[in-house]
Amino acid sequence: MKVAFLVATEGIEQIELTEPWKAVSDAGHTPELVSTDSGRVQAYDHLDKADTFPVDTTVSQAQPDDYGALVLPGGVANPDALRMDKDAVAFAKGFFDRGKPVAAICHAPWTLIEADVLRGRTLTSWPSLRTDITNAGATWVDEQVKVCTSAPSTLITSRKPDDLKAFCEALIGELAS
């Protein structure tokens, strides 16, 4: 199955892109980098520039129906830019509308808050998003990984890079079901 990794043009926490990407690929699925612009995206190792990655397609061209799941890597600047892009927000919301799994780590739930898809759900994130998540009608928990199976779609969330092993295991488990 194809799995969309939605990112802005810069500000992606590199390990939060590369580790789930590798897990998805190793499990026999096809990861695809979807971004707000074509070309390459700039990843970061915290505040330091890291590698760049080629964009497979832009969010304005991509459709949720083309994918089996969505992964939202974190970093601070990445989801902050995505939540300001109407196409990115609509793309993320489309996965919930279609009942497809979504996985978000660190600050990535900001995009989901903007899409208004968290109401009634339980999730985790980087701790500074707690108030934002609560104000969006969701319940925030401080857990390594939280899998919320509320209809219409499964939401997998984690707090930070140290949680990536559990995040990737939960993501691959959901893709296998």
Question: How many whole angstroms separate alpha carbon 157 and alpha carbon 108?
Answer: 9
Question: How many whole angstroms separate alpha carbon 52 and alpha carbon 29?
Answer: 22
Q: Of 29, 46, 106, 168, which is the active-site residue? A: 106
Percentage of the chain lying above the pLDDT 90 cut: 98
**pTM beyond 0.85, yes or no:** yes
Question: 148 catalytic, yes or no?
Answer: no
The structure tokens listed for 67 are 């994918």
Average pLDDT on 27-56 reads 97
Quote the pLDDT of residue 17. Answer: 98
Question: 107 catalytic, yes or no?
Answer: yes
Domains in the chain, CATH or no CATH each: 2-176 (3.40.50.880)
pLDDT band at 76 (very low <50, low <70, confident <90, very high): very high
Average pLDDT on 142-155 reads 94
Tens digits of per-residue pLDDT, 87-139?
A: 999 999 999 999 999 999 999 999 999 999 999 999 999 999 999 999 999 99
pLDDT band at 151 (very low <50, low <70, confident <90, very high): confident
- For the four alpha carbons of 137, 139, 144 and 149, in that order, the dihedral sign comes to negative
Q: Of 29, 46, 107, 168, which is the active-site residue? A: 107
Give the rounded distance of the alpha carbon of 57 from its chain centre: 16
**Residue 160, SS3 per DSSP:** coil
